[in-house]
Amino acid sequence: MHAFNIEVSYTNAGFTGFKTIYICGLKILSDKGDTIVKADSIFLNPRLLPLLVGKKRLKELAIYNTDIHLNVNLLRLLKSHCENVPKDTTGQPSFTNYAQLLNSLQNKFFTFIPTWVIIRNSEIVYRRDSIISSVYCNNFNYQNNSFLGDLVLTDNHIQGRCVLEGLLDPSARKMTASLNHVDTSLVQLPYINARWKAFIGFDTLRFSISFKKINTNLTTITGDAFASHLALQHKSLGPDEVTTQSGSIHYSINVGNRYAELDSSTIVRVNGFSFSPYARFENYNSRKLTFAFIRKEFDAQELFESLPSGLLSNFDGIETKGRLAYHLKVTLNFDYPDSVLFDSKLENKDFTIKKYGVTDFRIMNSSFVQSVYDKSRYVESILVGPENPDFVAIQNISPYLKFSILTAEDGDFFYHRGFNQNAFRESITTNLKEHRFARGGSTISMQLVKNIFLRGDKTISRKLEEALIVWIIENLHLVSKERMFEVYLNIIEMGPGVYGIKRASKFYFNKLPSDLNLNESIYLSSIIPRPKAFRYTFISNGVLRDYLTSYYKLLGGTMVRRNQISPFDTINLKPNIKLTGEASMFLAQPDSSAHEDSLFYMDAKNLIPE
């Protein structure tokens, strides 16, 4: 076994009867002397007819008192060996035929399965740095296409017992299995928490899978999966554990020569709510992913009652009537990011709210207390209303400032219903190009909802909740656009510990918001995406960095075209301001910190909608 730098030894081997092979005291050691496999005894009974033509097929297999030790370095070695295949030297284009690859893999799996398997007192251990995860089997039997075994799942944090049972029919290319807990606790998957600080647990997990080869270039995979009391937790999902009483999927997957497709006949059910997703990945001239979600109409209350606990907590206890319809289609071309297609639409079918749950989304219509968070860290509470001396009514804010912020942040705010699909497309394109979440596409409505009803965590649950709250406020007209903009201007972060335009006017220019001129207003709009990094926009006090020259020109020109200001207003327009407030004491050298939700993050040519 020189290819893997391992040493194989055993204490005894031979035959029992006519064809049963036994191996005792088997050891497989790495080149460093670490034990990879240690087995007291293994019995193998090969199939005679395949063996005569050189094919290794097992009829019976028994394994006793075996330990298998794996680590990340060994897995990397195995992966590199598998990838070390002869290259195509014909000069012809080569590609992976997904259907043929799938058929090859599933054929190898099903033809390897013996008709009879016994495993006793055996364990598989995986080590990665300080993480140790294991699966221990005291007793496993497979006979007459059915199997039953007990497992103990262990890692640094958990230990749980469960029972694995099911059917495996190699001739039909089909398998069903279930995993059930033995004690009262949920089954927890090992390694996941220790490695990624995540939690996946369930009471019962069942699944089935079957393969059908249609032709050389097409194979279908069908089956079902079901989980009861499924619990998930990870920081990217949200701050709370997400639990659902039951979840299931009936799936159909088509695998072709250069594509894999989740068929639209697939049905996903979460508690009492069901929907049919569609997904397709293809690799012809480029790598393209398409995802679609179509649910023509559904009862709104059915959706809210079926939401997993901990996912959208602001909607807990809500009562609604009427129906909704949702459509989503996204196409991503990983090799041509600029060709992104994004179409999302939630339609109101006589939808109304009978009773608000945890949160009443109408609170902006009167004075309320806003809790300010900075990356989930509580900062302060702000009273938003005339009772607060820092509050300023919208009519007392300079028109220059209102137009500057609207133009920079969300030029269509007064015309859309909370979402800007062009901004979403631009956001997806940028993130694909940079292979990370580099920019968002939030409208003023979305920024407002995030600040008032949600914390600043960039999580899946927060984005879902944000989108749904925005849709409800905008489509049910719970709050007027003018009031939303007024609240936005009074709570927006505009510097270190500076919230609201009245504080900002004083902090930067020692003025009232009504007295701000065009130069000052455009500058304030420019720092909204980077409120804490304002001081890095200056070369010195009053002299702004060169990149703001194009920003001033673009923003001023767009405001003129929209008749928000006159050409005369731009005669002395230039990025040159005088800090007369406390902000002058904060000037320093450049930094890269920034918010990513603003519509400001668009290519220059698309920064300001016409």
pLDDT tens per residue across span 176-227: 999 998 877 789 999 998 889 999 999 999 999 999 999 989 999 999 999 9
pLDDT tens digits for 394-418? Answer: 999 999 999 999 999 998 899 988 8
Q: What is the pLDDT of residue 572?
A: 80
- CB of 62 within 8 A of CB of 141? no
C-alpha dihedral (325, 445, 310, 268), degrees to nearest 10: 20
- Cα separations in angstroms, 209 against 177, 212, 261, 274, 351: 9, 10, 16, 21, 39
- CB of 119 within 8 A of CB of 149? yes
450 found inside a domain: yes
114 found inside a domain: no
> Domain with 450 in it: what CATH number?
1.10.3810.10
Reported as a pLDDT band with limits 50, 70 and 90, residue 50 is low
pLDDT at 30 over 90: no
Query: In 257-382, which residue ranges form alpha helices assigned H by DSSP?
Result: 300-306
- CB of 381 within 8 A of CB of 369? yes
Reported as a pLDDT band with limits 50, 70 and 90, residue 157 is confident
Angle at CA of residue 68, ends 67 and 71, nearest 5°: 140
Query: In 113-222, which residue ranges form alpha helices assigned H by DSSP?
Result: 192-196
Angle at CA of residue 225, ends 221 and 227, nearest 5°: 165
- CB of 507 within 8 A of CB of 516? no
198 found inside a domain: no
Distance CA 460, CA 423 (A): 19
Q: Token pair of 115, please?
A: 């008709």
541 found inside a domain: yes
Q: What is the mean predicted confidence (pLDDT) over 39-49?
A: 85
Q: What is the pLDDT of residue 78?
A: 63
Q: Token pair of 422, please?
A: 């062009």
* Mean pLDDT taken over the chain: 87
Distance CA 578, CA 538 (A): 11
pLDDT at 592 over 60: no
Q: What is the pLDDT of residue 442?
A: 83
Among 478, 526, 215, which Cα is nearest to 361's? 478
The half-sphere exposure of 409 on its side-chain side, counting CA atoms within 13 A, is 34
Among 482, 560, 472, 471, which Cα is nearest to 518's? 560
How many domains, the chain? Answer: 1
Distance CA 164, CA 167 (A): 11
Please tell me what DSSP assigns to residue 576.
B
Percent of the chain with pLDDT over 70: 89
494 found inside a domain: yes
Structural domain including 598 reads: 363-606
304 found inside a domain: no
- Cα separations in angstroms, 161 against 185, 189, 267, 278: 9, 11, 31, 36
Q: What is the pLDDT of residue 436?
A: 59
Distance CA 419, CA 441 (A): 9
- CB of 137 within 8 A of CB of 122? yes
174 found inside a domain: no
512 found inside a domain: yes
| pTM of the predicted model as reported, rounded to 2 decimal places | 0.85
- CB of 604 within 8 A of CB of 550? yes
Q: Token pair of 120, please?
A: 């006793």
Residue 338: CB atoms within 10 Å? 11
